[in-house]
Amino acid sequence: MLPKMGLLYYEDYTPDFYVCYRVKDVIYTGRSQYQNIEVIDTDTFGKILFLDNAVMVTERDEFYYHEMIVHPAMVSHPNPKRVLVVGGGDGGTVREVMKYDVVEEVVLAELDEEVVKVSKEYLPSISCALDDPRLKIEYGDASQFVKKHTDKFDVIIVDSTDPIGPGEILSGEEFIRDCFNLLNAPGIYVAQTQSYFFGKEFLRKYRQKMMNVFGNVYNYFAPVPTYPGGGWSFTMGTKGVDPTKSVRPAPSGLKYYVSQMQANLFIVPPFLLE
């Protein structure tokens, strides 16, 4: 059960920093085989999905994250027919991938079936593409899926939970290498890599792991107001793709990402180079 302060739910991030949400209603609370799952409703952010007391997604600001984990890869890949999404059981990443007609098949490798069920019931605006006929869902340990799977993908998107507990293995170099082996050439791998303010050391170590596997590694960033620090990082590795160049326009109707961002997307702020 989430900690409560009167009408507030709060998420601890560091001993000195936490985020509070004023609750309108507690919509769902339960525990799966792997984690606590809760959905609350708020006036400011709409419905919020928590996993083990950490915010995964809110209705109001999810577009920043989901558009930015998907579209920089999809607009720069010459022919992204097969896409693997690791994690992301709420469906937001799948929804953005499905906006491209060139996509023929998406595989969602999700550990927890309950996250998908809860998201489909309570977060329909985010999970709306989980019934797309191009989607195949594989439940279970994604680290074993990428190790044993043989059919390759053009794009792999790692929309994992925080790198603790069930999600920790998905930030390891062995997992990254297994994904590299599953990528076609040309191919693109992209992962969410935590807060660039609070998680600077994690980001540095993750980039080094990526450098050990991929010849070409890029970092980019986006605002996500409800994530700790208000900004998030993504790390991309490529096989034979220059992600600074778009080969197709972004879909219409996006709220944050525009194709004009792409050329300058991978400029790293000086404080992260220290």
By annotation, the residues acting in catalysis are 159
DSSP string, 255-267: SS--GGGGGGTTP
Distance CA 84, CA 137 (A): 10
Query: CA of 28: how far to CAs of 52, 162, 189, 224, in Å?
Result: 13, 21, 34, 24
Q: Identity (one letter) of the amino acid at 116?
A: V
Task: Please list, residue by residue across 97-132, b when 16 or more beta carbons sit within 10 angstroms of its beta carbon and e when fewer do.
Answer: bbbbeebeebbbbbbbebbbbbbbebbeebbebbee
Distance CA 180, CA 152 (A): 10
Contacts of 73 (CB under 8 A, 6+ apart): 80, 155, 157, 188, 190, 236, 243
Q: Name the residue among 126, 143, 200, 205 with its Cα closest to residue 177.
A: 143
Number of H helices, E strands in the chain: 8, 14
Q: Count Cα neighbours of 176 within 13 Å in the Cβ-side half-sphere.
A: 24
Tokens 């794009």 sit on residue = 155
Distance CA 159, CA 89 (A): 9
Contacts of 85 (CB under 8 A, 6+ apart): 93, 94, 97, 106, 107, 108, 109, 157, 159
